[in-house]
Structure formats: C-alpha cells, structure tokens
C-alpha cells in the first residue's frame, strides 16, 4: 500500500485514465497521487497486465507507448520494491505513471510483454539489477551483468564492493 501522505483523494484526481481504471476494477487501484505534473496510480500487482491492456486498448485513452519500466528499492522499509511503468498516449499528449508495490521477500509480478513486446528488455533490466521476477516473461535472464554474477547490484543492501 502506498504511503499515507502519497495517497490523495481519488475523487480529486479523477481524470479519464483513473476514472476508467476505477470503473473497470476499483479493487485494482490502491491509490493515486499527482506529482511533477503527472498522475501516478498504484495498481495491485495481481492486475498489472490487465490494467496495462485496458489503458493501451481503450479508444478514449490510447496509452499505446510504454516508455520505461524501472524499480525503486525502499530498503529497509516494507513493501520494499516499487516497480514503475511510464506510459504515453501520443495522440492525446498525456503521460501516466503506474506503480506496483512488492514485498522484499516476494518480489515478483506478471510480465506485460504480451501487451507491449518492448517491455522485454525493461523487465530483464529490472530483474538483473533488482531481482524482481516477471512471470510469463519469454526470456527472463540477465541483460547487463554476466550470467554468473551474484546478487542484484541496485539493491540497497548490496555490498558496495560486491560479494567476496
């Protein structure tokens, strides 16, 4: 669940994307906030692929471009990880940020490569550097670090000089 100060009254933020997500499945939306002139919507991890599919395919929204997937490690806080999806509706010139919180002892969620094939390399990078697993990914393996590398170097508890 997002931090209490990060959640804003959903009625105040209700734009077309948030309104459509709430209409589709209110249980999938865990919260929302408006920051840096962009809307961030917290999605329950069980619904991330379906939410992305809805946002991409809805003719009124058309978030057809996935510009990035990244991750934030909030160690030692729980939930530890926050996977962040940056979406763009080019025709409407609108941006949307989706966020999924993941516990440190269970960092996995469903792959969205079936929605945006370009998510392949973004998900591999998040897996490689943070250790977040994406179920259903067609080729989830390291992309930046050597295959025999131990650990995930962007985790905050990773030793500065690596494992010895």
CA distance 44 to 30: 6
Phi/psi zone of residue 31: left (φ > 0), alpha (ψ -120 to 50 degrees), beta? left
Cα 17-19-20 angle, rounded to 5 deg: 65
Residue 10 has a pLDDT of 59
3-state secondary structure at position 30: strand
pLDDT tens, position by position, 19-76? 999 999 999 999 999 887 789 999 999 999 999 999 999 999 999 999 999 999 999 9
Residue 164 has a pLDDT of 61
CA distance 16 to 113: 24
Q: Where residue 134 falls among pLDDT bands split at 50, 70, 90?
A: very high
pTM for the model:
0.90
Q: Where residue 133 falls among pLDDT bands split at 50, 70, 90?
A: very high
pLDDT tens, position by position, 69-128? 999 999 999 999 999 999 999 999 999 999 999 999 999 999 999 999 999 999 999 999
CB-facing half-sphere around the CA of 38: CA atoms within 13 A:
16
DSSP, residue by residue, 116-132: -TTHHHHHHHHHHHH--
């Amino acid at each position: 669940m997002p931090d209490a100060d990060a959640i804003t009254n959903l009625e105040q933020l209700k734009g077309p994307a948030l309104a459509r997500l709430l209409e589709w499945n209110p249980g999938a939306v865990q919260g929302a906030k408006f920051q840096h002139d962009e809307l961030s919507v917290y999605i329950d991890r069980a619904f991330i692929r379906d939410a992305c599919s809805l946002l991409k395919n809805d003719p009124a929204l058309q978030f057809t471009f996935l510009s990035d997937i990244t991750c934030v490690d909030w160690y030692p806080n729980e939930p530890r990880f926050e996977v962040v999806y940056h979406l763009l509706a080019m025709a409407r010139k609108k941006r949307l940020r989706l966020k999924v919180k993941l516990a440190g002892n269970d960092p996995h969620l469903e792959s969205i490569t079936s929605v945006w094939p370009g998510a392949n390399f973004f998900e591999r990078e998040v897996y490689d550097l943070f250790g977040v697993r994406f179920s259903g990914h067609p080729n989830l393996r390291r992309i930046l670090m050597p295959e025999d590398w131990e650990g995930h170097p962007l985790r905050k508890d990773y030793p500065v000089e690596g494992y010895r």
